[in-house]
Chain A
Amino acid sequence: MSGSYLEQVVQPDTRDTDIPPRLLGPQLERIWGTPRGLWGFLTTVDHKRIGQRYIVTAFIFLAMGGVLALLMRLQLSGPERRFIDPDRYNQIFTMHGTNMMFLFAVPVMEAVAVYIVPLMVGTRNIAFPRLNAFSYWMFLIGGLVLWVGFALDMGPDVGWFAYVPLSGPQYGAGKRSDIWAQMITFTEIAALAVAVELVVTILKQRAPGMTLDRIPLFVWAMLVTAFAVICAMPAIMIASTSLILDRLVGTHFFNPSEGGDVLLWQHLFWFFGHPEVYIIFLPAVGMISSIIPTFARRPIVGYLPLVLALIATGILAFGLWVHHMFVTGLPRLGESFFTASSMAIAVPNGIQIFCWLATLVLGRPVLKTPMLFILAFFFTFVIGGLSGVMVASVPFDTQVHDTYFVVAHFHYVLIGGAVFPLMGAVYYWFPKITGRMMSERIGRWVVGLVVVGFNLTFFPMHILGLQGMPRRIYTYQPELGWGPLNLFVSLSGCILAAGFVLFFFDVVRSMRSGAPASDNPWQAATLEWATSSPPPSYNFSRIPVVTSANPLWDATILPATRGLRVERRELLVTTVVDAEPQARESSPSDSIWPFWAAVTTSVLLVSSIFTPWAVVWGAIPVTFALIGWFWPKSTPEDLA
Chain B
Amino acid sequence: MIRRFWRRMAWIVPLACSACGETFQSALQPAGPHAASLARLIWSFTAICGVIWLLVMLVLLFALWRRHRPAEARHERRATAIIGAAVAATVLIITGLTLMSYAATRGLSDDAPDPVVIRVRGYQWWWEVTYADRRPERTFVTANEIHIPLHRPVRLELTAADVIHSFWVPNLAGKQDLIPGRNNTLTIVADAPGTYRAQCAEFCGLQHAHMALPVIAEDAAAFDTWRQAQLAEAPAPVTAEQAAGRDFFTAGPCSACHTVRGTSAAGRLGPDLTHVASRQTIAAGQLPTTRGSLAAWIADPQTIKPGNNMPLVPMTPDQLQSVSAWLASLR
Please report A residues at the B interface, Cβ cutoff 8 Å. Answer: 85-87, 90, 158-159, 163, 165-166, 170-171, 256-257, 261-263, 298, 301-302, 305, 327-329, 332, 335-336, 339-340, 343-344, 346-347, 350-351, 353-355, 357-358, 360-365, 367, 375, 378-379, 382-383, 386-387, 389-390, 392-403, 451-452, 455-456, 459-460, 463, 466-468, 470-477, 479-485, 488
Query: Which parts of B157-202 form the interface with A (CB within 8 Å)?
Result: 162-164, 166, 168, 170, 173-177, 179-182, 184-185, 197, 199-202
Query: Which parts of B62-81 form the interface with A (CB within 8 Å)?
Result: 62-64, 66, 68, 71, 75-76, 79-80
- Given A389-B97, A470-B168, A470-B199, A396 and B41 contact (CB-CB distance below 8 Å): yes
Which residues of chain B have C-beta atoms less than 8 A from A476's C-beta? 209
Cβ B18 vs Cβ A484 within 8 A:
yes
- Given A365-B64, A398-B176, A355 and B83 contact (CB-CB distance below 8 Å): yes
**Main SS class of interface, A:** helix
Given contacts A336-B102, A375-B60, 6 further A-B contacts (CB under 8 A): A166-B203, A362-B71, A365-B63, A392-B101, A468-B27, A470-B168
Cβ B162 vs Cβ A395 within 8 A:
no
| Contact segment of B8-16, B143-151, B316-324 | B8-16
Cβ A358 vs Cβ B203 within 8 A:
no
| Contact segment of B49-57, B133-141, B249-257, B263-271 | B49-57
Cβ B26 vs Cβ A301 within 8 A:
no
Cβ A460 vs Cβ B12 within 8 A:
yes
Nearest A-chain residue to B66, judged by Cβ: A361
Closest beta carbon of chain B to A310's beta carbon, Å: 15
Cβ B175 vs Cβ A327 within 8 A:
yes
Which residues of chain A have C-beta atoms less than 8 A from B59's C-beta? 357, 361
Please report B residues at the A interface, Cβ cutoff 8 Å. Answer: 1, 4, 8, 11-12, 15-16, 18-23, 25-28, 35, 37-38, 41-42, 45-46, 49, 52-53, 56-57, 59-60, 62-64, 66, 68, 71, 75-76, 79-80, 82-83, 86-87, 90-91, 94, 97-98, 100-102, 104-105, 108, 124, 162-164, 166, 168, 170, 173-177, 179-182, 184-185, 197, 199-210, 285-286, 306-307
Cβ A329 vs Cβ B15 within 8 A:
no
Closest beta carbon of chain B to A553's beta carbon, Å: 14
Interface centre among B49, B83, B98, B203 (most CB of A within 10 A): B203
Cβ A166 vs Cβ B80 within 8 A:
no
Which residues of chain A have C-beta atoms less than 8 A from B71's C-beta? 298, 362-363
Cβ B18 vs Cβ A396 within 8 A:
no
Which residues of chain B have C-beta atoms less than 8 A from A382's C-beta? 52-53, 56-57
Nearest B-chain residue to A351, judged by Cβ: B87
Cβ A395 vs Cβ B80 within 8 A:
no
A481–B180 Cα distance when bound, in Å, is: 33
- Identify 16 residue pairs between A and B in the complex whose beta-carbon atoms are under 8 Å apart, listed by A's number: A86-B306, A90-B206, A165-B164, A262-B182, A302-B83, A335-B105, A361-B79, A379-B60, A395-B105, A395-B174, A398-B174, A399-B175, A459-B8, A467-B19, A468-B168, A470-B208
Which residues of chain A have C-beta atoms less than 8 A from B184's C-beta? 328-329
Cβ A466 vs Cβ B166 within 8 A:
no
Cβ A328 vs Cβ B177 within 8 A:
yes
Cβ B86 vs Cβ A354 within 8 A:
yes
Which residues of chain B have C-beta atoms less than 8 A from A485's C-beta? 15-16, 19
Cβ A340 vs Cβ B105 within 8 A:
no
Cβ A466 vs Cβ B45 within 8 A:
no
Cβ B180 vs Cβ A468 within 8 A:
no
Nearest B-chain residue to A401, judged by Cβ: B175
Cβ B41 vs Cβ A393 within 8 A:
yes
Which residues of chain A have C-beta atoms less than 8 A from B68's C-beta? 363-364
A344–B285 Cα distance when bound, in Å, is: 41
A480–B212 Cα distance when bound, in Å, is: 12
Which residues of chain B have C-beta atoms less than 8 A from A383's C-beta? 53
Cβ A329 vs Cβ B76 within 8 A:
no
- Given A301-B76, A358-B83, A399 and B170 contact (CB-CB distance below 8 Å): yes
